[in-house]
Amino acid sequence: MEKIAIVGLGQTKYKGSREETFDELVFEAVNLALSDAGAEIGDIDNVVTVSNDFWDGRTISSMAVTEASGAWDKDISTVEGDGIFGTLYGMMRILSGSFNSTLVVAHVKGSEGEMNLITNAMFDPIYQRALGIDATSSAALQARCYMEKTGATEEDFARVSVKNHKNAFGNPYSQLPMEISVEDVMKSRKIAEPLKLFDCSPISDGAAAVILSNKQGLKRFKKDPVWILGVGHCSDSYTLGYRDLTNTRALKNAAQRAFTMASIKDPMKELHVAELYDAYSYMELLWYEGLGLAADGKGFELIRSGATEMTGDLPVNPSGGVLSAHPVLVAGLARLIESTIQIRGEAGKRQVKGASKALAQGINGPCGQAHGIIVLGS
């Protein structure tokens, strides 16, 4: 594979509610990415926007951000899914030989939507929606399955929340830095058994953008490139009843594609930092297993060992993760941006020393049905 680099990035501060309209958020993120890259909109050959009609409450939601994304007189397309998938498409468009650079931008205003209704709408309209199932209640089923199968405890989930909210203090873009204890998480309000308030990510507003370039395009950009070493994406089955919710086969498949491309044999040893999609605390433990950072059923032992703390062998979510800010669609792209910042050595208080190989994850669908993985290197 020809090498593709990330040469610019921008993210707005993530908040529970932003006054700006979503095209204004997109404009902000795009301008931040361009100035980060030392570039102008004319240096961008094509654009991929990421949006979702349900979250935007608007049909053809891509239309509302076309101008703000700078796509005038350029090729443009729109991915509906996490920003990681938008990045994968942006990269393919360069690899095809048609373009030298792609701008990828994602946005969401969770504050303007009803999470329960919007995520209820991803379930079967006849048999399941009437039960009221949504992202959180389906996640609770998955968390319970995981506990039953592995012996992990609610305290193990709480440990993820404590770690990530603490890490968020180092991230100026994060929404919820919190100094909390396992006991605080355990005592927080029940949302859907066994998940409590502090096991769940918040609903956020925000936008993020990255600029991708091939080698020919590099001269347009001032920033040192961070290279994409490997990518992979894969979807599991849809019907929850058809899935073993503790089986991470789709993530394993996506990760294996990325690791093969990046020549990574032992991710635990070779990666220096990982930014994972912890929409709910327990997810981080499952994703450890899918990524091969822990053996199947042993993800909870990894969090107990402290290996994924800032001081551990492989810090996971130095940014505070999705638990500390969850702009849906943007969140995976934010993981990619955070991984890039780590490799650049620009992460400030959340910097993992000497990080030169990082992994970012995005997910789609209920209970992490689909995964997109990008491995980055210096």
Partner 1 sequence: MGKRAAIVGFGQTYQRSSRKDVNGRELINEAVRSALADAELTINDIDAVVIGNMDHFEGINYVDMWSVEGSGAVMKPIMKVTTGGTTGTTIAMCAYYHVASGLFEKVLAIGWEKNSESDTTGAIITAFHPVWERPNLGGAVAGLAVEASKYMSNYKITERDGARVAARERLHALNNPYAHLHQEWMKGMKVEQIVDLLVTSEQNQVLAYPLRMSDMCPRTDGAAAAIFASEDVAEKIVPTPAWIHATTNRHNYVYLGDLDWNVNETLRDSSRKVFKKVGIKDPLKEIDVCELYLPYSYAGLKWMEDIGFCGPGEGPKLVWDGITDMDGELPVNPSGGVMSSNPIGASGLIRVGEAAIQIMRKAGARQVQKDVNFAFATGFGGCSWADVMLLGKQKPA
**Least CB distance to partner 1 at residue 2 (A):** 8
Which of 118, 186 has the CB closer to partner 1?
118
Q: Determine the interface stretch with partner 1 among 47-55, 159-167, 176-184, 205-213 (rule: CB under 8 A).
A: 47-55
**Least CB distance to partner 1 at residue 250 (A):** 7
Instruction: Give the one residue of 235, 247, 356, 378 binding partner 1; rule: CB under 8 A.
Output: 235
Helices 331-344 & 83-95, crossing angle to 10 degrees? 70
Phi-psi region of 377 (alpha: psi -120 to 50; beta: other; left: phi over 0): beta
Which of 250, 294 has the CB closer to partner 1?
250
**Least CB distance to partner 1 at residue 121 (A):** 4
**Least CB distance to partner 1 at residue 80 (A):** 5
Q: Determine the interface stretch with partner 1 among 34-42, 48-56, 157-165, 177-185 (rule: CB under 8 A).
A: 48-56
**Residue ranges in 95-124 that form contacts with partner 1 under rule CB under 8 A:** 95-98, 118-119, 121-122, 124
Instruction: Give the one residue of 11, 52, 213, 324 binding partner 1; rule: CB under 8 A.
Output: 52
Three-state secondary structure string covering the chain: CCCEEEEEEEECCCECCCCCCHHHHHHHHHHHHHHHHCCCHHHCCEEEEECCHHHHCCCCHHHHHCCCCCCCCCEEEEECCCHHHHHHHHHHHHHCCCCCEEEEEEEEEHHHCCHHHHHHCCCCCCCCHHHCCCHHHHHHHHHHHHHHHHCCCHHHHHHHHHHHHHHHHHCCCCCCCCCCCHHHHHHCCEEECCEEHHHECCCCEEEEEEEEECCHHHHHCCCCCEEEEEEEEEECCCCHHHCCCCCCHHHHHHHHHHHHHCCCCCHHHHCCEEECCCCEHHHHHHHHHHCCCCCCCCHHHHHHHCCCCCCCCCCECCCCCHHHCCCCCCHHHHHHHHHHHHHHCCCHHHCCCCCCEEEEEEEECCCCCEEEEEEEEC
Which of 104, 314 has the CB closer to partner 1?
104
| Residue 45 makes contact with partner 1 by CB under 8 A | no
| Residue 365 makes contact with partner 1 by CB under 8 A | yes
**Least CB distance to partner 1 at residue 293 (A):** 21
**Residue ranges in 252-281 that form contacts with partner 1 under rule CB under 8 A:** 253-254
Instruction: Give the one residue of 11, 12, 78, 164 binding partner 1; rule: CB under 8 A.
Output: 78
**Least CB distance to partner 1 at residue 4 (A):** 10
Q: Determine the interface stretch with partner 1 among 35-43, 54-62, 136-144, 196-204 (rule: CB under 8 A).
A: 54-62
**Least CB distance to partner 1 at residue 12 (A):** 20
Hey, which residues does 373 pair with through a beta bridge? 232, 361
Which of 21, 153 has the CB closer to partner 1?
21
Q: Determine the interface stretch with partner 1 among 9-17, 29-37, 71-79, 144-152 (rule: CB under 8 A).
A: 71-79
Which of 45, 309 has the CB closer to partner 1?
45
Smallest CA-to-CA distance from 367 within 67, 84, 79, 146 is with: 146
| CA 230 remoteness from chain centre | 16
Q: Determine the interface stretch with partner 1 among 168-176, 237-245, 277-285, 318-326 (rule: CB under 8 A).
A: 237-245
Interface contacts to partner 1, rule CB under 8 A:
1, 52-54, 57-60, 62-64, 66-67, 71-81, 85, 88-89, 91-93, 95-98, 118-119, 121-122, 124-125, 231-239, 242, 249-250, 253-254, 364-366, 369-370
